[in-house]
Structure 1
Amino acid sequence: MIPSVIIGEIEVLSCSNSWRNFHFVKITAENGLIGWSEFDEFFGMPHVSSVIESLAPRIIGQNAVHHQAIRQDLLNVTRPGAGGVVGQAIGSIENALIDLYAKSLDVPAYVVLGGKIRDRIRVYWSHFVSHRARVGHFEKDIIDVGGVRENVKDALEGGYTALKTNVFNYDDDGKTKSWAPGFGRPFDPSRNAEKNLRKGLHQHLELLRETSGDDMDIMLDLNFNSRPEGYLSILRELEDLDLFWVELDVLDAKALSMIRSQSKHPIASCETLIGLHQFLPFFDHQSIDVAIVDTLWNGVWQSMHIAAAADAFDVNVACHNFYGHLSTMMNAHFCAAVPNLRIMEIDVDRVSWDRDIFTHLPDITDGYMTVPDRPGWGTEPIEAELKKFPPIPDAGLARAAPRQSFL
């Protein structure tokens, strides 16, 4: 018998994460069951919550079991603006519906995704150095080489076997300096990777290797911070290093294919794409070794389709996961259910109250996360705790004040 999980109410909740906000969708069924999902408004996508609230009336009274039909209806009425904040809003709604559906069956979410293939998932420590370089937000700060070495020590002691860093240089006093022109830090639309930048990055990666030893897998994330010519110059500079992958964002599949053909390191990309149709050119042109899928943006159900397409092209997938603990649980179910998984991203550095606002935390030991077996995603935000940490007004890349005059 098909469960009757009639949707009664949809809410958007948020709280501070010190330097950005966490955002959640709460869908309450008429029978009292609650489905949750997490979404994001910081990473260049403002006002997703406004779209969710605009779409919410269309799904009141619908049966959450039929989440694909609900998704298609929402796509039909937003088709001229598909993707972007609209795509993320629809994905976040469907993610909450999947949680609600699984809870109605009293099973973990991976069951409704097709069942789990693995009990444990290898994870990597993401934003290594980058988060602690945001001085004043986390337990430990990084301002120089000594802080970087301490970060590596913590990773080794924590049993982690893989880490991912961004672009850092050091000044004459050993102070760290990041480089992210793709996000306006500094404001430099040319995004040229000059020789001193490339050599400084080589020094940073050598420091990580020297401190961590030969067994640590090291990844580099270049984001949108250059153009193909610049990426190629960086890759040539780093040819002698042992890197797990180099992650970069190029929205032209042919250009990325050209970069991959000249790289001695595996190439990972696609974390900002929404919908299978955006991924297909990158599979067709053999542009990537690993397809990174943002399951919050796409919705976990759509992400399963993307992973299946990647599998048809013999490409592995990984998830884009640098949000809260609910996001990590959601991604864990995705990672448990797909056959072609490479590794899972997590942020180890957390603000002090992060553990207090969720009912359950990820179970990570020696660099592996155990797949949760509780109903649904396996954790929920605690609403009373969220209220203790009001959201930061105007948080997000798009709402930040310009760092300098454009003239």
Structure 2
Amino acid sequence: MTQSSKATSLEILACDAGWRNYHFVKLTTEDGIVGWSEFDEGFGSPGVGAAIQRLSARVIGQNVFLHERIYAELFAATRPAAGGVVAQALGAIENALLDAKAKSLGVPCYELLGGKIRDRVRVYWSHCATWRINHPSWYQPPIENLDGVKAMGREVREKKFTALKTNIFSYDDGKPTGWRPGFGSPFAPEINVDRKILHDLRMHLEAIRDGAGPDVDILLDCNFNAKTEGYLKILRTIADLDMFWIEIDSFNPQALGYIRRQSPHPISSCETLLGLREFLPYFNEQAIDVAIVDTPWNGVWQSMKIAAAAEAFEVNVAPHNFYGHLCSMMNAHFCASVPNLRIMEIDIDRLAWDHELFTHEPEIQNGHLIIPDRPGWGTEPNEEALRAHPPKTSGGLLNYGRKS
């Protein structure tokens, strides 16, 4: 017999997260169980919260144990506009249902996913140097030159992380500036990669390698910041460097497959895709070495399906994870459960008040995240702390490249 615990309310909460906001779903059941999930509106997705609230009427009164049924119903109700912000709303609701179900059973969420395969997950220090260059008022100490980049690499090594990921920077008079025309900063919609960017990128990578030493893996995230020609130029420029992967976002799986077949380095991609249907063309094209899955966007249960398909195509997965601590824990349960895991992304540079916002922070030892055995995701937002840091009216990518 199916256990039953009906959802009685679904609320949206948010708080200030420096250059963006954190967003949460709070789902309460008739038994007083609270299921939480974290979602995001700052990564090009305004309006997810409004979509969640509009869909909440179809969730209230339903049995949280039947999350697949609820997801199927919500998908059917939104099928004409499937994907995008609507898909992210479904993912956020699914993740809250999973937390509520696991807590009702008194088990960690990984038990709902087939049980854990590993107790520890290797992580890489993401946005390494990036946050301290792009957002120096929030992440200290600020990095203002190549010596700061080199020191950042050394810090990663000394703190016993085994991998880091950085981004593309332009250097003017020795000072780095984030180069992200794909996100409108600078506004250059042609997204050409010129000689100076290639020179500065190589210089940046050599500096971070100098600090990190020979044993730390270095990952480069190019995002949407080039076209096919530009990505090939980048790959040729750094062909002789020892790179763990080059992360490339492309809306065209054939173009990415063309790039991969010419790349001396492994290619990762797909962090902005929603649903297995969007991943399949990239798998069929053999366009990627590692499929990056955003589990807060897709829902962890749906993400397990994507990972299973990736396995059939001999592709490993890695979670997209640059949000708050609840997202890190949601991703940790996914990582604990999928057989074909490559590595987990996590931001180590944090806001000064991040530790106040959640009941538990991720536990990291020697570059590995320890999988918690607490019920549900293993952490919850602290509502009093959220109220102490009210959300801003602006933030995220919508404000990139604009004067604040």
Check whether TM > 0.5: yes
Structure 2: 5+ residue runs without aligned partners? none
The code of the aligned residue for 1:364 comes to I
1:185-224: CA deviations, max 9, x gaps? 1000110001111011011111111111110100000000
Written as runs of structure 1 = structure 2, the 5 A alignment for 1:202-221 is 202-221=202-221
- Whole-Å separation in 1 of the counterparts to 2:218 and 2:236: 17
Equivalent residues of 1:45, 1:398 under 8 A apart = no
Equivalent residues of 1:46, 1:396 under 8 A apart = no
The code of the aligned residue for 1:169 comes to S
For normalisation by structure 2, the TM-score amounts to 0.98
- Whole-Å separation in 1 of the counterparts to 2:200 and 2:68: 49
- Whole-Å separation in 1 of the counterparts to 2:324 and 2:330: 10
Written as runs of structure 1 = structure 2, the 5 A alignment for 1:193-342 is 193-342=193-342
Equivalent residues of 2:179, 2:185 under 8 A apart = yes
Deviation at 1:289, TM superposition (A): 0.1
1:21-69: CA deviations, max 9, x gaps? 0000000001100000000000000010000000001111100000001
Residue 153 of structure 1 pairs with residue 154 of structure 2: yes
Query: Counterpart of 1:45?
Result: 45
The code of the aligned residue for 2:49 comes to S
Equivalent residues of 2:153, 2:210 under 8 A apart = no
**Pairs aligned (count):** 403
CA distance 1:401–1:287, change in 2 (3 Å): closer
- Whole-Å separation in 2 of the counterparts to 1:361 and 1:115: 22
Deviation at 1:400, TM superposition (A): 5.9
Equivalent residues of 2:106, 2:375 under 8 A apart = yes
- Whole-Å separation in 2 of the counterparts to 1:297 and 1:266: 24
CA distance 1:127–1:399, change in 2 (3 Å): closer
3-state SS of paired residue (2:205): helix
The code of the aligned residue for 2:137 comes to G
Written as runs of structure 1 = structure 2, the 5 A alignment for 1:156-171 is 156-171=157-172
Deviation at 1:301, TM superposition (A): 0.5
1:107-128: CA deviations, max 9, x gaps? 0000001111000000000011
Deviation at 1:238, TM superposition (A): 0.7
Deviation at 1:171, TM superposition (A): 2.7
3-state SS of paired residue (2:121): strand
Of 391-400 and 62-71, deviating more is 391-400
Equivalent residues of 1:163, 1:218 under 8 A apart = yes
- Whole-Å separation in 1 of the counterparts to 2:329 and 2:29: 22
Deviation at 1:78, TM superposition (A): 0.6
1:210-267: CA deviations, max 9, x gaps? 1111101000000000100110011011101000000010111111000000000000
1:107-165: CA deviations, max 9, x gaps? 00000011110000000000111111111112321121222122222212211010000
Of 199-208 and 31-40, deviating more is 199-208
Deviation at 1:275, TM superposition (A): 0.3
Query: Counterpart of 1:103?
Result: 103
- Whole-Å separation in 1 of the counterparts to 2:157 and 2:399: 37
Query: Counterpart of 2:93?
Result: 93
- Whole-Å separation in 1 of the counterparts to 2:329 and 2:223: 24
The code of the aligned residue for 1:161 comes to T
- Whole-Å separation in 2 of the counterparts to 1:401 and 1:229: 24
Deviation at 1:70, TM superposition (A): 0.4
Residue 143 of structure 1 pairs with residue 144 of structure 2: yes
The code of the aligned residue for 2:151 comes to E
Residue 187 of structure 1 pairs with residue 179 of structure 2: no
- Whole-Å separation in 1 of the counterparts to 2:399 and 2:86: 19
The code of the aligned residue for 1:285 comes to E
Equivalent residues of 2:160, 2:367 under 8 A apart = yes
CA distance 1:396–1:256, change in 2 (3 Å): same
Equivalent residues of 1:394, 1:400 under 8 A apart = no
Deviation at 1:399, TM superposition (A): 5.4
- Whole-Å separation in 2 of the counterparts to 1:401 and 1:196: 20
3-state SS of paired residue (1:387): helix
- Whole-Å separation in 2 of the counterparts to 1:378 and 1:3: 22
- Whole-Å separation in 1 of the counterparts to 2:262 and 2:400: 37
For normalisation by structure 1, the TM-score amounts to 0.97
Deviation at 1:309, TM superposition (A): 0.1
The code of the aligned residue for 1:385 comes to A
Equivalent residues of 1:268, 1:292 under 8 A apart = yes
- Whole-Å separation in 2 of the counterparts to 1:8 and 1:125: 39
- Whole-Å separation in 2 of the counterparts to 1:127 and 1:202: 17
The code of the aligned residue for 1:297 comes to W
Structure 1: 5+ residue runs without aligned partners? none
- Whole-Å separation in 2 of the counterparts to 1:244 and 1:207: 16
The code of the aligned residue for 1:332 comes to A
Deviation at 1:401, TM superposition (A): 7.5
Query: Counterpart of 1:355?
Result: 355
Deviation at 1:403, TM superposition (A): 5.9
- Whole-Å separation in 2 of the counterparts to 1:184 and 1:230: 17
1:158-189: CA deviations, max 9, x gaps? 110100000013233x2112210000110001
- Whole-Å separation in 2 of the counterparts to 1:398 and 1:165: 22
